[in-house]
Structure 1
Amino acid sequence: MSAPTWRDPVVRAAGCVLWRRPPGPLLHAEAIELALVHRPKYDDWSHPKGKLKRGETALAGALREVLEETGHHCAPGPLLDTVHYTVQGHPKEVTYWAAEATTGAFAPNDEVDRVLWLPPVAARERLTQPRDRLLVNALLTSLHATE
């Protein structure tokens, strides 16, 4: 008889609310643009995120997922929130950071076919899940705190 395999019942993932400064001086936090990714498998708009690899820290996973899904490197900022929900009967938690895009360019891939850069108000409207809209608020709060 083989020994049972332990498995974490929670699916752990991480991502970023990716933002960039517009050309010219940053007048206030609302002047930024946020990156939203379109996932054709789910036909939804969300922040870049994904499951953690075995042994990977949440921050390392978040930065990897941003690069894989958007083609952008980024500078991580404050921890925003950890969101909890259920997917196909399994609990999932996704930890998010604020992250400023630095270099890179998007190329469509199997997971993400489009990236949009939108001002916060338009990003809130485009996001599919209400829980993702709350992350926009958390990002803006964190940026106001550093102004």
Structure 2
Amino acid sequence: MRAAGCVLWRRTDSGGLEVCLVHRPRYDDWSHPKGKLKRGESGPAAARREVLEETGQHCVPGAALPTVHYTVGDRPKEVVYWAAEATGGTFVPGDEVDRVRWLAPAAARARLTQEHDRKLLDALLVAVPDAPGA
């Protein structure tokens, strides 16, 4: 199974960095926006679509982040990620994602459910110029 996603970020008015996390009620977890590629869809296009669908935010993908591999049931899953700067939009809760939170890196690290998502956050902090440490 192939999927794509983004570690979505924005600058605060004071110049700090915030990361957007999504809550999926089906799994009761906090993660980065991601989803399966549609037939013929590129990874970056799928990542932008998933960010918009799950967070309501438009974004500009930037640096590639580590690819994550794990198993869902008995099927292998590969998720390719990018750092993506949010450029605006409005969140509307839905069945797939019912909440989003914009958090400072340290708070995001504490809220993330999976360890591989924390590693993506670490990679974002390296990839984004002048990112404050967590």
CA RMSD across the alignment: 1.2
Tell me, in whole angstroms, the C-alpha distance in 2 between the residues paired with 1:22 and 1:32. Answer: 6
Match for residue 72 of structure 2?
87
Match for residue 53 of structure 1?
38
Tell me, in whole angstroms, the C-alpha distance in 2 between the residues paired with 1:145 and 1:95. Answer: 24
Match for residue 19 of structure 1?
9
Shift of 1:144: 3.6
Please list every run of 5 or more consecutive structure 1 residues that lacks an aligned counterpart in the other structure. Answer: 1-10
Instruction: State the structure with more CA Rg.
Output: 1
Tell me, in whole angstroms, the C-alpha distance in 2 between the residues paired with 1:105 and 1:33. Answer: 16
Runs of 4+ in 1 over 3 A off after TM superposition: none
Kindly, what percent of the aligned residue pairs are identical? Answer: 67
Tell me, in whole angstroms, the C-alpha distance in 2 between the residues paired with 1:72 and 1:17. Answer: 12
Shift of 1:75: 1.1
Tell me, in whole angstroms, the C-alpha distance in 2 between the residues paired with 1:117 and 1:21. Answer: 10
Please list every run of 5 or more consecutive structure 2 residues that lacks an aligned counterpart in the other structure. Answer: none
In the TM superposition, what whole-angstrom CA distance separates every residue of 1:53-72 from its partner, at most 9, and x where no partner exists? 01100110000000000000
Tell me, in whole angstroms, the C-alpha distance in 1 between the residues paired with 2:21 and 2:31. Answer: 5
TM-score of the aligned structures, taking structure 2 as reference length? 0.95
TM-score of the aligned structures, taking structure 1 as reference length? 0.86
